A = this chain, B = another copy of it.
């Protein structure tokens, strides 16, 4: 059974191809660490796909790091940008003609999308928060993987985005490359999510997995540091703040809660004893740092769960189970961090913004 292609569809295909040429997206990149550089590498390696599959030709018109900001209305040469960063540590040596302040560039540069990639700061959200607010007020769409501003002020940032009628995307803040937020918003339509719980921090999960294998807390932490999974100051992970920030973002987006970090009951893994891990192991359980949202209460705490539970994953994996009214429990598992993984979430958000601008 083969049917001929409809003539109208064919004409449409040609026309779409023609108009594709007009669709450019000018990007301002704030922060050029591992994720920023991976994103630029993705743009380079995927330029043909992005044009053919999605009709976009992104141009990076500004890029900032600790050293300052460089700009080009024609678009920066991405290979040169990567090489300057690698050899001279800052993009400032790229050599653009005039120097401007970052805020000035965000406000006045002709661009469609500001991509905020500065490090997460859960104390006051800066400098990310000011970057995001400035971009929104100047009518630019925003993508961020920076958890700080969202964990501290999710409700007001989303309201500001709505007020300025711009798209605000942050799928990389929870789950890195694993599309946890997308899954909940897009795939579970028509059903009602009643609650969710999961492992949202890879570092603590690695440590607890090692403790399950027999190490005590200090040995496991040392192992995680040696493998590069734990920061020099591991407080953000170990004491649960990173999981709290992700829980806040997910609870706002998925369950429409108006929560911030102070609404979460938090216990880290510092006091998990090797003896407790062993005791639970004998019962068929593992102790995991579990983030829970039941629609009212938000909690991050070490909990014993059955090793047969689908969210009982090992190593640096993240896992989350959504409990839905009709379709039951849905679990999604993936790597919750990594430069290229998180960069892929930015590309996903960019394609979404293209669709929003177009419609």
Chain A interface residues (CB < 8 Å from chain B): 1-6, 8-9, 42, 46, 49, 54, 153, 156, 159-160, 162-165, 176-179, 182-183, 186-192, 308, 310, 313-314, 317, 319, 324, 326-335, 338, 340-341, 343-345, 347-348, 350-352, 359
Contact = CB atoms under 8 A, between A and B. Distances in A.
A191 B328 contact: no
A328 B308 contact: no
Q: How many copies does the complex hold?
A: 2
A183 to B, nearest CB: 5
A254 B342 CA distance: 22
A342 to B, nearest CB: 9
Top 8 A-B pairs, shortest CB-CB distance: A177-B327, A190-B347, A179-B187, A326-B344, A331-B333, A1-B156, A182-B187, A190-B348
B3 A344 contact: no
A328 B351 contact: no
B313 A340 contact: no
Contact of A343 (B308, B326, B335): B326
Query: Among the interface residues A160, A163, A338, which one has the most CB atoms of the partner chain B within 10 A?
Result: A163
A308 B171 CA distance: 27
Nearest to A165: B6
Contacts of A340: 326-327
A138 B34 CA distance: 54
Nearest to A129: B1
A359 B327 CA distance: 28
Contacts of A178: 327, 330
